[in-house]
Amino acid sequence: MTLLGLSISELGRRLRSREVSARELALEALDRIARLDPAVGAFLRTTEELAMAQAEAADRWLAADPQGAPPLCGIPVAHKDVLCTSGVETTAGSRILEGFVPPYDATVVARMAAAGAVVVGKLNCDEFAMGSSNENSAYQATVNPWDHTRVPGGSSGGSAAAVAARLACATLGSDTGGSIRLPASFCGVVGVKPSYGRVSRYGLIAFASSLDQVGPLTKTVEDSQLVLSAIAGADPHDSTATTEPVGDLAAALHQGVQGLRLGVPREYLAAGVGAGVREVLDQACQRLEREGAELVEVSLPSTEYALAAYYVIAPAEVSSNLARMDGVRFGRGEPAATSLVEAYESARHRGFGPEVRRRIALGTYVLSSGYYDAYYLRAQKVRTLVAQDFARVFQQVDALVSPTAPTAAFLLGERVADPLAMYATDALTLPANLAGLAGISVPAGFAEGLPVGVQVLGPYLGEAVCLRVAAAVEALSDLWHQAPPGTDG
């Protein structure tokens, strides 16, 4: 079994007892990436020089103060390629940013480094994080480590696949409509979408600024808690980051679910949820009930409008955010152009893939004169209704449990030609983004041999209760140690 198959807490124990060094872990991770990733495609680039420098610094820290070193000290990690990393090419999976090397670190990248984590590379994603399958990357395909004919989920597909294949112990992704939770479910790992503002977005290449959130993907719920505790908190560089204290998230992991009232949203079990996925959820709910939780059916009636509202609001913000990618401020220029308009058109057409162009066009349309009130304003009103539904339900229950996705991972290419079918993949995850709530996907079983995740949603800044319920699901399912075939644990 590879050392990278161990939990972060167990690796931390071995690092502190000097059974293994941070350098050895980094070398093992880089070796596994070189051997196994060509078949998976999770990494866009590795960062050997940075990793070895950070590993040596971690070893010095661990030698000088083994008990005082943070839990992530010496742990191999990797970051989704939408997070600015000083001195490392960061492209957001797009040709228009090819060659862009940020002069600074995103806050979450800096906080991971400050915690002693060792960065081994940057991870593939759908272009500008726009996609549910990781098939929109301009550079390469990423496959699901459990079945190479299937998608890993998106947009943080590289982040989930790297953890599942034991190429890194933890990764960072971003979640705009389910882009952490969906690939976590498809790849059989844990993925956390924090409440909006719980984690700084400074240095995150924006998709939709009112929806984006950075979070961890890991093998275990405890590992996710360790990463979340390291990256969460106020940030003077991000005015949307909340100043509310993070609190002791670790305490939630061992509290169990005795006495909790958990809601199962009726609308989340509607048509489209596969029989195998429903069976996994039912089994998880039965286990939670046996552990003392009360399961009740609840209703979120605005759910049926959430998908349409999301695909008005998100593209509108895309149209605004990506206006700067014009070949002048960002992106490669077009020196042969004979006019400024031609230069803009050429740079953007050459630099953006079809899905990004589709969303820019849609967003520009709904913001245009004569259509703003009919589409964008109405979508924002629906967003308010979705948030109000959640607020009402959280007066009745402590958390919600549901499938993370309607199905297990689908085949590569299956939905590429049908954008509406692709967008529907996010139907159970995106409402939490519209409302800014905390959420987590935890492996709970298998359907047709593929991993299936259960989603736990909590109120705003309710990360603790999400972790508490997810830890119980994990303990009752006992699946975290199961690795895809060919990954050696």
Active-site residue, 155 included: yes
Q: How many angstroms separate the CA atoms of 390 and 263, rounded?
A: 11
**Catalytic residue of the set 7, 21, 80, 319:** 80
Closest to 110 (Cα-Cα) out of 25, 288, 265, 231? 231
Handedness of CA 447, 451, 452, 454 (dihedral sign): positive
Residues 6+ apart with CB under 8 A from 438: 192, 193, 194, 195, 198, 432, 457, 458, 459, 460, 461, 462, 463, 466
By residue count, the chain amounts to 489
The DSSP secondary structure of 25-59, one letter per residue, reads HHHHHHHHHHHHHHHH--EEEE-HHHHHHHHHHHH
Q: Assess whether 80 carries a catalytic annotation.
A: yes
Q: Closest Cα to residue 459, out of 401, 398, 408?
A: 398
Question: Please, which residues bridge with residue 215 across strands?
Answer: 173
| C-alpha torsion sign, points 72, 74, 76, 79 | positive
Set 179, 185, 200, 402: catalytic member? 179
Which residues sit opposite 192 in a β-bridge?
440
Give me the residue label for tokens 């590795």: 46
- Whether 27 and 48 have beta carbons less than 8 Å apart is answered as no
The DSSP bridge pattern shows strands 261-265 and 294-298 to be parallel
Phi, psi values for residue 216, rounded to 5°: -95, 155
Which one of the listed residues 21, 94, 132, 155 is annotated catalytic?
Answer: 155
Annotated catalytic residues are 80, 155, 179
